[in-house]
Amino acid sequence: MSDQVYFPISQNWTTEEVINVVQFFEVVHKAYTTGAKREDIMNAYRTFQQVVPSKSEEKQHFKEYEKQSGEVPFYVVRDAKKAKTGTVIQMN
């Protein structure tokens, strides 16, 4: 991940919503660096979905994050959904 990643956020979101989205992308980054617990990923993703309920908007935010960081949120969420409880997701 580059030193400066600008998280894809909307100016229409509240401060709390921005924080929730940033926390989701931080968990994605953690999965790529040190590994993240499945539950942490899923909790952050569920909160992200409350802010971004539209799948098309979600895809746009995921693509923007991937373009800047090289990390793929879709893969992190997919692997977390498939994993058993208590699993640590470590992306290669």
Q: What confidence category does residue 2 fall into, taking pLDDT thresholds of 50, 70 and 90? A: very low
pLDDT in tens, 36-61: 999 999 999 999 999 999 999 999 99
Cα gap 37→90, rounded to integer Å: 9
pLDDT at residue 86, as a whole number: 87
pLDDT in tens, 8-34: 888 899 999 999 999 999 999 999 999
Closest of 10, 4, 5, 19 to residue 61, by C-alpha: 10
CATH number of 15-89: 1.10.220.80
For residue 61, what is the DSSP state? H
Closest of 25, 15, 13 to residue 62, by C-alpha: 25
Q: What confidence category does residue 77 fall into, taking pLDDT thresholds of 50, 70 and 90? A: very high
Q: For the chain, what are the domain ranges?
A: 15-89
